[in-house]
Copies of this chain bind each other. A is one copy, B any other.
Amino acid sequence: MTRQELIAQIKEKQSFLCVGLDTDLKKIPQHLLADEDPLFAFNRAIIDATAPYCVSYKPNLAFYEAFGIKGMIAFEKTVRYLKEHYPKHFIIADAKRGDIGNTSAMYARTFFEEYDVDSLTVAPYMGEDSVTPFLGYAGKWVILLALTSNKGSMDFQLIEDREGERLFEKVIRKSQQWGTDDNLMYVVGATRGELFKDIRRVAPKAFLLVPGVGAQGGSLQEVCRYGMTLDCGLLVNSSRGIIYASSGTDFAEVAGEKAYELQQQMALELANYKG
């Protein structure tokens, strides 16, 4: 998917919501366990209920790998279902991969050719040759970890070098020599409201994937105040707050309502954007 197509979707739906499909057999409603493929049954129902209110879905691979071969089949079916029924939604495989060049190239082939998702989250620690193999696919995106939403993000990402540049800023600045705003986004946690200003200094137009609104305590308003651009420039993810909002037979309906609520708040933020 191109940047222009993504922006068009955001404007049309007045939403920059990404729904995180962190689908856990231990957390999905009990009655689904009778299904042949409970993970996929859950995802399909969540997708059908939330699709009008979001522009993106983000299955986290950890949750599918945890159920072995069956889990990976559920992941594959979910991606195929999205591509068939909701081809305008931007699919993010949240896998946080990254390895030496020839190995990253294998991962790129897996996610961009086999599964054919739109984007993949990538960890930057191993540097340029671990990232660039993912950047050679037309219409596909790398979403590079920059400043994450968890507590441990403070251990290394905020380290300052002798010139006062912090690691997350260096990751963004350097990686912009490898990719462009058309194939490279960054993960920036919503729990880092005040730092969005600094991010925008280094990456004024790049799209940011923002986890951490909801369960992790980030504020949508603060993210928008400091992070939004003329093209929106944000994909805000919510996982647990939507998909596990109800554990009853009404789980999909309630997920749809939660997604709708967020979409309404996002429409307001888009309307109020002053540049």
Contacts and interface: CB of A to CB of B under 8 A. Distances in A.
A102 to B, nearest CB: 8
Contacts of A123: 96, 98, 123, 125-126
A253 interface: no
Contacts of A159: 159, 161, 167, 170
B160 A167 contact: no
A250 interface: no
Interface stretch (A45-53, A150-158, A260-268): A150-158
Nearest to A187: B126
A154 B127 CA distance: 7
A100 B150 contact: yes
Contact of A151 (B103, B110, B127, B157): B127
A178 to B, nearest CB: 10
Contacts of A22: 103
Identical copies in the complex: 2
A250 to B, nearest CB: 25
A101 B60 CA distance: 13
Most buried by B among A60, A99, A130: A99
A124 B127 contact: no
Contacts of A149: 100
Interface residues of A, number: 53
A265 to B, nearest CB: 23
A148 B101 CA distance: 12
A214 to B, nearest CB: 13
Given A66-B114, A69-B73, A99-B62, A127 B106 contact: no
Contact of A62 (B72, B76, B110): B110
A110 B170 contact: no
A65 interface: yes
Interface string A225-267: 0000000000000000000000000000000000000000000
A131 interface: yes
Counting chain B CB atoms within 10 Å of each CB, the highest count among A62, A104, A152, A174 belongs to: A152
A103 B160 contact: no
Nearest to A216: B100
A31 interface: no
16 contacts: A62-B99, A62-B106, A62-B110, A65-B106, A66-B107, A68-B110, A69-B69, A69-B72, A69-B73, A96-B97, A100-B152, A124-B156, A127-B150, A127-B153, A128-B152, A130-B152
